[in-house]
């Protein structure tokens, strides 16, 4: 059984109840959303998690990517990143480990936190291939499915699978002459494999088998955007949109058999193209939840891509994106530190909240009103309690000791709220 | 003479030439924009500055607010903030000092940097009043004009003047029962003064005299939004919009006599209301450049309001705002540190660039393409040179020593760009 097969039968699951309670909306709306594929509840049958719903009508959710690289491999650090991401409000964590001990990392992360965990199984297949001194283009297709099955057994809740890069698409990528080529690791692996073996993408060719595995463990498919743009001028080009068209067809096949499915999206996108990208996904992909990475809206700010993507994420989520993958200040440069993870999660939470307010989400509006009330009353403790970061604002406030509770060091006696409060 | 009176006569000034060169566009476009009031070039006749144009068709500009408060008064610190803001790309600095030595601060800042400097003269008038142990409601209206004239003589390039809060508007603010009342300091001073003296706003009543002073020194008027919302639920309400209507009338009077004028805008605005706020200003205020503070798109992130406002600023600027006032992480809590000023400027520069790309500005697009080329070529030095912050990304990159230039610690051997570069 999957959440979706149950929903299609009209059965309300405990997970749907949990989501309804969290969102403060009627459980029948969750039921209908899961049934028609506009909501997913990632939860592997082999894992107990604090579930979250992702999709239309729900608050925007945030994912934090963590995990080792071939250059930095520190288990405690990655586990602590997962815990920190949860502490600051991440709704899901993806373990993107690619270092030699990646299996150990995944297991430790699955144990460490109780929110949905996602992976990109082709990284493990790629790592096994590289570790055996072979090249990516020599990767055994069977290995990919073995990895998917073993990770499913372990309890991975959602998986990024780049099923939409087809053999037909490869020459189109080449003739497009993109500035940045392919910037998705999974996308590169598969496109190179297809090119050099002159064979179809195994994840596309054996999609029915993939659906069987997903049905067995209720893995939520996160159909990867292997051809997402890697710079602003590559955005919304033929390869990107053709892959999205392909994904739309695959969503339909998954939804038909009751496999929960979401779709991944860009990437680097100029601000004025974000809305149409969101609308296109919703129409082409039958309303499947859209999970976006960024979008990054300028490439001129390495070291600050949590901000370039908070701008894109807010616009995306207010136009249909349901799930924001955080981007940290370390993006394009290194693995994030603990501080970077915190900054990344908070920036994504800000984007999600700004979008939820714009969409009129009642939970979001209530929080905003509570903050305004606390500000008006100079109730600093309440302000800090409501803040995404409960300690940083207190540090600012306490830098300068002021006896009068009704001001801060920014305006002092010139505080407008203080002066106006009796009259206005 | 002012830039506008010259433009109305068809005379191209050296300042217009400088702006055209900076923007890489035809000087006749600048001439027409200054003549019809859609572009301003703030430059006091008594001061030599590296001028910038602000307005339609030009790159989005960024202002940094600095200055003492009654609680923190450190001259060197504020001068260093001004210099740092310029270093990171601010196009203008406003000295908002309100501490006892505010005159000394303004003079030091005018001397320290060679970009346009703005002030809010009513702060000085308010400070003199408070220092004389009187209340704000006892402020002498003549004092306001004396301050404006003396600051104009010193060379202040643009001044925030809250001319639109009229006597008629005061009961409307009261009956609106806003959650946050008035949050503009100048706005509070004037609304309280009007209420308690039962007299008209001196800046409104003596607007013709103000225009005479502006003409004499070519002060660019920045018509203040004293009734900007202080929380999301106060946004776009009757007092805010009525004040904007008033400002529209005042813009017309200023433009008629050749006084350069821009209009200030909110503040705290839900993301979905930003576009209409921008369009409204452009129609009501006869195309005058719009100078926005934020807008802040969620109130839940004290300590991170550079991000909440980068989101709002990018959407604002891509919908007509011409000039973004930075917001620092210290907003609502304290005066910014040097680090906060840097963070604030960079966040605003990111918002400005994202908007300029969206608007198809050729200078902005060219920079983005150069960055993409540098990324593709793994030319790290060029990437850091093009970045808003030239040192922070290098620190990230160098955290982990890697012999192969064609990768970073984030993806290591899994680098998509490296793997794909020969084929795609």
**For B241-279, how does the pLDDT look when each residue is reduced to its tens digit (9 = 90+)?**
999 999 999 999 999 999 999 999 999 999 999 999 999
- C-alpha B152/C-alpha B175 separation (Å) is 37
What is chain A's percent helix, strand, coil content, to nearest 5?
50, 10, 40
A chain contacts of residue B395, beta-carbon cutoff 8 Å: 303
For B104-116, the pLDDT digits (tens) are 999 999 999 999 9
pLDDT at position B421 over 90: no
- Where does the pLDDT of residue B179 fall: very low under 50, low under 70, confident under 90, or very high at 90 and above? very high
pLDDT at position B319 over 90: yes
Q: Cis before residue B267, ω within 30 degrees of 0?
A: yes
Nearest CA in chain B to A271: B358
B chain contacts of residue A417, beta-carbon cutoff 8 Å: 180-183, 230
Query: Which of B302, B358, B368 minimises the CB distance to A387?
Result: B302
Contact between chains at A300 and B332 (C-beta distance less than 8 A): no
Q: Where are the domains of chain B?
A: 3-359, 363-419
What's the pLDDT at A345?
98
The number of residues in chain A equals 424
- Where does the pLDDT of residue B365 fall: very low under 50, low under 70, confident under 90, or very high at 90 and above? very high
> B241: which residues sit within 8 A by CB, 6+ positions away?
B280
A chain contacts of residue B308, beta-carbon cutoff 8 Å: 350, 354
Asked if B34 and B16 touch (Cβ cutoff 8 Å), the reply is yes
* Best CA proximity match to B354, nearest among A353, A310, A179, A319: A310
Nearest CA in chain B to A392: B303
> Which residues of chain A fall below pLDDT 50?
none
The HSE-up count of residue A123 (CA atoms within 13 Å, CB side) is 31
DSSP E strands, B15-60: 39-40, 54-55
- Where does the pLDDT of residue B280 fall: very low under 50, low under 70, confident under 90, or very high at 90 and above? very high
- C-alpha B223/C-alpha B278 separation (Å) is 15
- Is pTM beyond 0.95? Reply is yes
Task: Please say whether the dihedral angle defined by the alpha carbons of residues A36, A42, A46 and A47, taken in this order, is positive or negative.
Answer: negative
User: What tokens appear for B248 in the block?
Assistant: 């529209």
Contact between chains at B414 and A69 (C-beta distance less than 8 A): yes
What's the pLDDT at A421?
86
Is residue B246 exposed (0-12), middle (13-18) or buried (19+ Cβ within 10 Å)? buried
pLDDT at position B63 over 90: yes
Q: What topology is assigned to A3-359 in CATH?
A: TIM Barrel (3.20.20)
Report the residue of B228, B271, B339 to disrupt the A interface, i.e. the one with the largest count of A CBs within 10 Å.
B271
What is the phi/psi pair of residue A395, to 5°? Answer: -60, -45
ipTM exceeds 0.95: yes
- C-alpha B83/C-alpha B76 separation (Å) is 11
Across all residues in chain B, what is the average pLDDT? 97
Is residue B283 exposed (0-12), middle (13-18) or buried (19+ Cβ within 10 Å)? exposed
How distant is the Cα of B271 from the closest Cα of chain A, in angstroms? 5
Report the residue of B354, B403, B409 to disrupt the A interface, i.e. the one with the largest count of A CBs within 10 Å.
B354
């Amino acid at each position: 059984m999957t959440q979706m097969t149950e929903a299609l039968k009209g059965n309300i699951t405990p997970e749907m109840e949990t989501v309804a309670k969290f969102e403060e909306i009627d459980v029948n709306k969750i039921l209908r959303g899961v049934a028609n594929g506009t909501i997913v509840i990632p939860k592997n049958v082999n894992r107990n998690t604090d579930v979250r719903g992702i999709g239309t009508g729900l608050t925007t959710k945030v994912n934090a990517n963590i995990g080792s690289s071939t250059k930095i491999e520190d288990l405690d650090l990655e586990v602590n990143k997962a815990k920190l991401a949860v502490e600051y409000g991440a709704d899901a964590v993806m373990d993107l480990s690619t270092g030699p001990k990646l299996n150990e990392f995944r297991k430790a992360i699955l144990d460490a936190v109780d929110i949905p965990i996602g992976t990109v199984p082709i990284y493990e297949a790629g790592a096994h291939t590289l570790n055996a001194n072979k090249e990516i283009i020599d990767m055994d297709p069977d290995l990919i499915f073995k990895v998917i099955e073993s990770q499913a057994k372990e309890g991975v809740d959602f998986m990024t699978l780049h099923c939409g890069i087809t053999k037909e698409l490869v020459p189109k990528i080449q003739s497009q002459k993109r500035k940045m080529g392919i910037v998705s690791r999974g996308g590169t692996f598969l496109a190179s494999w297809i090119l050099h073996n002159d064979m179809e993408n195994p994840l596309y060719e054996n999609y029915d088998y993939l659906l069987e595995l997903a049905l067995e463990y209720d893995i939520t498919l996160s159909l990867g955007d292997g051809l997402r743009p890697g710079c602003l001028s590559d955005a919304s080009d033929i390869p990107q949109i053709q892959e999205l068209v392909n994904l739309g067809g695959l969503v339909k096949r998954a939804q038909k058999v009751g496999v929960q499915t979401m779709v991944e999206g860009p990437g680097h996108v100029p601000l004025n193209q974000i809305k149409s990208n969101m609308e296109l996904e919703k129409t082409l992909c039958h309303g499947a939840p859209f999970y976006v990475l960024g979008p990054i809206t300028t490439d001129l700010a390495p070291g600050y891509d949590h901000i370039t993507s908070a701008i894109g994420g807010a616009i995306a989520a207010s136009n249909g994106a349901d799930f924001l993958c955080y981007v940290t200040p370390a993006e394009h440069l290194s693995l994030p530190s603990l501080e970077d993870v915190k900054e990344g999660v908070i920036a994504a939470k800000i984007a999600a909240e700004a979008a939820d307010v714009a969409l009129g989400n009642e939970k979001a509006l209530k929080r905003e009103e509570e903050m305004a009330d606390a500000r008006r009353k100079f109730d600093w403790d309440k302000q800090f309690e409501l803040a995404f970061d409960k300690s940083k604002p207190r540090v600012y406030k306490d830098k300068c000791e002021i006896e009068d509770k009704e001001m801060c060091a920014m305006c002092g006696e010139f505080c407008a709220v203080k002066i106006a409060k009796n009259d206005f």
